[in-house]
Structure 1
Amino acid sequence: MYKILSLLPVLLVCLGAQAQQTDYNLLIGTYTNTGKSEGIYTYNFNTATGDTQLKSVTKNVNNPSYLALSPDQQFVYSVNETGKESAVSAFNFNAANGELKFINQQNSQGADPCYLTADDKYVIVANYSGGSLAVFGRNDDGSLSEAKQVIQHTGKSIDPKKRQESAHVHMVQFTPDKKFLICNDLGEDMVYIYKYNPLAKRQILSLKTVYKAPAGSGPRHLTFSPNGRFAYLTHEFNGSITAFSYTNGTLNRLQAIGTTEKGFTGSVDAADIHVSADGKFLYQSNRGDANTISVFSIFPTGKLAFVSRVSSLGKGPRNFTIDPSGRFLLVGHQNSHQVVIFNRNTTTGALTDSGKRIEVGAPVCLLFAKGN
């Protein structure tokens, strides 16, 4: 009993320090071909104030437009979106100083990779223009092996003017149970669900089923609720959101809801979608002529109710993220070269301008990682 009591002060100090953690790394992937960006940026982000400070810039990286962290956060993986010569790169990540050290690079096995995800064994890449997804092995030192599997999509949909003349894989992500991989194909209006077999030597991914989205809608990004029971898909061309229930690799449609104001006739170009960590609110971004962030409340049934819509305060709100505290929502504006930081009301879900900005060229991906 004496030993237990003597350890209590130490435990309380450790728990207090953990509860008071306010400094995280914010990694920003960009397009370098704009001439306004030098590569991958790492900032310190303070979750108490929303203040940021530049820590490191990883230069000489071509168009690192999307990033992924390894589960242990020791490695960062980046696409290199450069047409037919596109690649995927691996880096060591130093959380203390925010620096990334190049390890190796592999051909992405398809033109213009725009998304990637990583687990303990593999990095899986979505090749947008190539219409394919590729599976790369992760070695113990974080380096990437040559592609273990490449799956080529070959379909198309109804609107060639809206980039549906061929397959365009736009997102790959694991389901919460880690048994399946979701793959959104904007060009085909399809959502593929692949069974994930991490111990297999060849058929790491095998097709389970396909969800056909409304023709011409362009399924782009999908997010899951924290409890893993629901999924939400945003469609690029009309900005609509489809809500699903999810179980064992199956998406069952619950609802479709719009994100633009009544009478809106401009281009929508929906981009990103996320659920708050408490599972109470969903956020979605539209680009084009809209440049908005829409807020929805989530019922226990998984269905959505519109709450509010605000200007994103920039042009081209591509990717956005909610900080670890839940008190801020950060929006990367690809076309106005700025990250806008919103205050987020955790009770109502409402967004208000914090007045804080990060000036960075063509920000496309915002990723939080552990701090010092």
Structure 2
Amino acid sequence: MKIIALVILFVFMHAGAQDYNLVVGTYTRACDSKGLYVYDFNSATAETKLKSTSEFINNPSYLTASPDNKYIYTVNENGEKSGVTALRYTPGNGKLKSLHDKDSRGEDPCYIISNEKHVIVANYTGGTISVFERNADGSLTDAKQLVKHSGRSINNERQEKPHIHMVQFSPDKKYVFAIDLGTDKIYIYHYNPNEENKILVLKDVIVTKAGSGPRHMVFNPNGIFFYVLHELDASLTVYSWIKDKAMPIQELSIAIKDEGCKNSGGDLRFTRDGKFLYVTNRGDANTVTIFKSHANGMLNFVEELPTMGEEPRNISIDPKDNFVLIGHQKSNDIVIFKRDKTTGKLTDTTKRIRLCSPVCLIFTNNK
């Protein structure tokens, strides 16, 4: 009887489980890496298995999957030779086949997003946004639009000119947000998918605290609040987004206060239920901070803990909200934490994926 009960329990536990693909982008300049890696990921156990590796791609430091899950688009962060690679993606076996490379029209692209119509790229060193049109076969046109930022801010080493670190669609896809670390500004563009050349048209500019260096942002799943992580001072700003207007409502910090400790905001990610936000701090800190989100958008501190690696550049949460994965650029590993869905707290599973300089982690369906 006990054996039957255990079998039933096992079947019940795994009935809701689903395997996904974990696609990882890496820096190839630091150690031996092919570029992109595709893993099986079990959402019940966090077990992983390598499925496929791309042919060599130079520094695919950020990537995006097309909405139909048939194509992967990745940046090639390579100075004046930077580009964008389009790849055909077969999720069943994880195979990636390069279609072509396109000039990114700006140095060191570091973020890329896509929808049914376009691929949009943030060029960090170039201080530009490139907009590519998608063809029916998944390939890209040359850039249809190039948006150039101008200006600087008070940090002479890091803010001597524009440095666009992220582009992001609003939840309703009416706008594209561009996070400019170099000018301490967030640009909000009208997104016009049916236009030929003026696809992005400036709507508004948010001026952030001087020297803060905004890096990444994320919307709460409810779509009425967004959260901006600042790299240079490791601060976090909460904005309301109501009737297409942004209003700051809370300021927090993830900085370690110890004397001499270098802080550097890394990445942030919401759970799909919108209840918890996870934020990484790089530099000397190497921590992840957990916040509980409330209906009014405000955050409450839950806990801060070590990420168990060095330079936590990217954070991802599996589609079932069971596990938090943190990619470490310098310790060359992905650390997998188990989530408590009630408290949001994390426990180290001791599971690791060892590979060269993992800096972008995305989940896709495996079909």
Question: Shorter-chain-normalised TM-score: which range?
Answer: over 0.9
1:259 paired residue number: 254
Match status 1:87 vs 2:83: yes
Amino acid at match of 1:153: H
Contact 1:213 1:219 in 2 (8 A): yes
Contact 1:193 1:249 in 2 (8 A): no
Match status 1:349 vs 2:344: yes
Match status 1:250 vs 2:245: yes
2:165 paired residue number: 170
1:153 paired residue number: 149
Secondary structure in structure 2 of the residue aligned to 1:48? coil
Match status 1:25 vs 2:21: yes
Secondary structure in structure 2 of the residue aligned to 1:32? coil
- Shift of residue 262 of structure 1? 4.2
Cα distance in 1 for partners of 2:88, 2:25 equals 16
1:273 paired residue number: 268
* Residue 178 of structure 2, aligned match among 180, 183, 189: 183
Amino acid at match of 1:134: S
**What pairs with 1:87-236 in structure 2 (closer than 5 Å)?**
87-161=83-157, 163-236=158-231
Cα distance in 2 for partners of 1:340, 1:246 equals 33
CA displacement, residues 328-372 of structure 1 (integer Å, 9 cap, x when unaligned): 000000000000000111110001100000001000000000014
Amino acid at match of 1:96: G
Cα distance in 2 for partners of 1:182, 1:267 equals 28
Shift in CA distance, 287/121, structure 1 to aligned 2, threshold 3 Å? same
2:4 paired residue number: none
* Residue 336 of structure 1, aligned match among 331, 339, 343: 331
CA displacement, residues 20-58 of structure 1 (integer Å, 9 cap, x when unaligned): 342100000001111231210000000010010000010
Contact 2:37 2:50 in 1 (8 A): yes
Cα distance in 2 for partners of 1:208, 1:246 equals 14
Secondary structure in structure 2 of the residue aligned to 1:33? coil
CA RMSD between the two structures: 1.4
Contact 2:31 2:357 in 1 (8 A): no
1:317 paired residue number: 312
Amino acid at match of 1:362: S
Cα distance in 2 for partners of 1:159, 1:60 equals 36
Greater CA deviation, 360-369 or 239-248?
239-248
Amino acid at match of 2:106: G
Secondary structure in structure 2 of the residue aligned to 1:84? helix
Amino acid at match of 2:77: E
- Shift of residue 309 of structure 1? 0.2
Determine what percentage of the aligned residue pairs are the same residue.
Answer: 48
2:62 paired residue number: 66
- Shift of residue 19 of structure 1? 6.4
Shift in CA distance, 19/277, structure 1 to aligned 2, threshold 3 Å? farther
Amino acid at match of 2:160: E
- Shift of residue 249 of structure 1? 3.2
CA displacement, residues 288-335 of structure 1 (integer Å, 9 cap, x when unaligned): 010000000111100111110010100000001000111100000000
CA displacement, residues 62-116 of structure 1 (integer Å, 9 cap, x when unaligned): 1111000111111100000000110001011101110111111110000000000
2:5 paired residue number: none
Amino acid at match of 2:139: S
Secondary structure in structure 1 of the residue aligned to 2:29? helix
Cα distance in 2 for partners of 1:160, 1:261 equals 23
Contact 1:180 1:249 in 2 (8 A): no
Secondary structure in structure 2 of the residue aligned to 1:160? coil
> What runs of 5+ residues in structure 1 fail to find an aligned partner?
1-15
Cα distance in 1 for partners of 2:294, 2:260 equals 29
Match status 1:326 vs 2:321: yes
1:294 paired residue number: 289
CA displacement, residues 109-151 of structure 1 (integer Å, 9 cap, x when unaligned): 0000000000000000000000000000000000010100000
**What pairs with 1:41-80 in structure 2 (closer than 5 Å)?**
41-80=37-76
Contact 2:39 2:52 in 1 (8 A): yes
- Shift of residue 267 of structure 1? 1.2
- TM-score w.r.t. the length of structure 2 is 0.95
Cα distance in 2 for partners of 1:36, 1:92 equals 24
- TM-score w.r.t. the length of structure 1 is 0.94
- Shift of residue 202 of structure 1? 1.4
Contact 1:36 1:362 in 2 (8 A): no
- Shift of residue 264 of structure 1? 5.4
1:12 paired residue number: none
